[in-house]
Amino acid sequence: MTDINTLFSKTAVSLVKEHLTPAIFNDLKEKRTKNKFTLEQAIRSGIQNPDSSIGIYAGDAESYQTFSKIFKPVIKAYHGCPADRIHRSDLSRIALSGSDLSCGHIQSFRIRVARNLADLPFPPLIDSAARIKVEEQTVNALLELKGDLEGSYHPLGELTDARRKRFAQKHLLFEKGDRFMEAAGINRDWPDSRGIFVSKDEKFAVWINEEDHLRIISMDSGGDIMGTYDRLSRALAFLEKRLTFARDPNLGYLTSCPSNLGTGMRAGVHIRLPNFLSQQALLHATAEEYNLQIRGSHGEKTEVLDGIVDVSNRQRLGITEKQCIETLHRGLSAIIKITR
């Protein structure tokens, strides 16, 4: 890797391209973390995919320090808050009131948080031995869950067709990552040590060794925001006692993609907006006002099918978990009002 001017395609629009100045590039290009993660590896996805919106991944917790000169401006641009303030977490109870989300258009509500185990490389860098450790430690902890969180673990490589279909229908399945994750190195050794833990009622799930070591997910078909949030916070309280997650006082929970730093939380609904196409501009503007994102029906970078969109929070750093859900609730109320 030599000349920064020829690194990125002319059409590339990523935050990493925007902020990687020749001076920062020269300063960082020979640096390595203790696990030997390099700048070249960190930005490979952004280089290979000119349509990346961020374009940089962390290979381990230390990446955020070693390459802080590029991560900091990218983090500030994405989350809209500086990367050097103390990040606060607040998973205390929520009482939502005032507005009604029971418009009949909400198909499902989902909250997930991203977590990585401290001291092991993150998915862009991890090797098979460490991936096995992640799977073992996590599954051992998850199998101790009781009550409504009790469930079973399903390695991806051993899923029967019937179960795969069921998980897909219930939005519980994850597949091999897209070209962004491929270029970042996240798909290596697929599907080894990948799997899904699911509670009996299928409202709680954990994805193991996807984009992060853990994606902890709480879901509800319908708009029960408080119940979904409560289930997630109970699971997190339990897992925090059993596992040690990578965390930083300023950056919060450390994740492969800097967009997930902070709470690691993406909370959102699949909602049917029958007039989505005709009201697109107004809906996007309203979402923006509440720092929400409107995505396609099947997640990031997918199409809108049948008027069903995914509305969720964009910011995860500099906002607590509780504030995230409260803001989502207010934003959704505003969006629903428009479509009524």
- Write the binding mask 224 to 263 for ligand ADP: x where contact by CB under 6 A, - elsewhere: ----------------------------------------
* Distances 182 to 21, 48, 185 between C-alpha atoms, Å: 25, 10, 5
In the bound state with ligand ADP, the residue whose beta carbon lies nearer, of 33 and 259, is: 259
CB 171, min distance to ligand ADP, A: 3
* Distances 100 to 19, 292, 302 between C-alpha atoms, Å: 42, 18, 28
Specify the DSSP class assigned to residue 32: B
By CB under 6 A, is residue 108 in contact with ligand ADP? yes
By CB under 6 A, is residue 109 in contact with ligand ADP? yes
| Binding span for ligand ADP by CB under 6 A among 49-57, 86-94, 237-245, 292-300 | 292-300
CB-based contacts of 117: which residues, under 8 Å, 6+ apart? 134, 137, 138, 213, 214, 243, 244, 245, 246
Q: From the list 56, 235, 269, 294, which residue makes contact with ligand ADP (rule: CB under 6 A)?
A: 269
In residues, how long is the chain?
340
Q: Please provide residue 83's backbone torsions phi and psi, each rounded to the nearest 5 degrees.
A: -90, 5
By CB under 6 A, is residue 220 in contact with ligand ADP? no
Binders of ligand ADP in range 169-188 (CB under 6 A):
171
Q: What amino acid is encoded at 51 in this protein?
A: D
In the bound state with ligand ADP, the residue whose beta carbon lies nearer, of 134 and 311, is: 311
In the bound state with ligand ADP, the residue whose beta carbon lies nearer, of 261 and 269, is: 269
Q: Torsion angle of alpha carbons 58, 116, 138, 113, nearest 10°?
A: -120
Burial state string for 290-304 with b = 16 or more CB within 10 A and e = fewer than 16: bbbbbbebeeeeeeb
CB 207, min distance to ligand ADP, A: 8
| Binding span for ligand ADP by CB under 6 A among 26-34, 58-66, 129-137, 296-304 | 296-304
By CB under 6 A, is residue 194 in contact with ligand ADP? no
Binders of ligand ADP in range 308-327 (CB under 6 A):
310
Q: What residues are paired with 218 via a beta bridge? A: 111, 204
CB 180, min distance to ligand ADP, A: 11
CB atoms within 10 A of CB 85: 12
By CB under 6 A, is residue 329 in contact with ligand ADP? no
* Distances 278 to 174, 184, 272 between C-alpha atoms, Å: 32, 37, 14
| Binding span for ligand ADP by CB under 6 A among 12-20, 24-32, 69-77, 295-303 | 295-303
Q: What angle do CA 121, 123, 125 make, to 5 degrees?
A: 55
| Torsion sign across C-alpha atoms 179, 263, 226, 328 | negative
By CB under 6 A, is residue 110 in contact with ligand ADP? yes
CB-based contacts of 286: which residues, under 8 Å, 6+ apart? 331, 334, 335, 338
Binders of ligand ADP in range 29-58 (CB under 6 A):
none
By CB under 6 A, is residue 300 in contact with ligand ADP? yes
Q: From the list 76, 179, 298, 330, which residue makes contact with ligand ADP (rule: CB under 6 A)?
A: 298
CB 259, min distance to ligand ADP, A: 9
Q: From the list 72, 87, 112, 203, which residue makes contact with ligand ADP (rule: CB under 6 A)?
A: 112
Q: From the list 270, 316, 322, 329, which residue makes contact with ligand ADP (rule: CB under 6 A)?
A: 270
Judged by the rule CB under 6 A, the positions of this chain that interact with ligand ADP are 108-110, 112, 171, 215, 266, 268-270, 298-300, 310
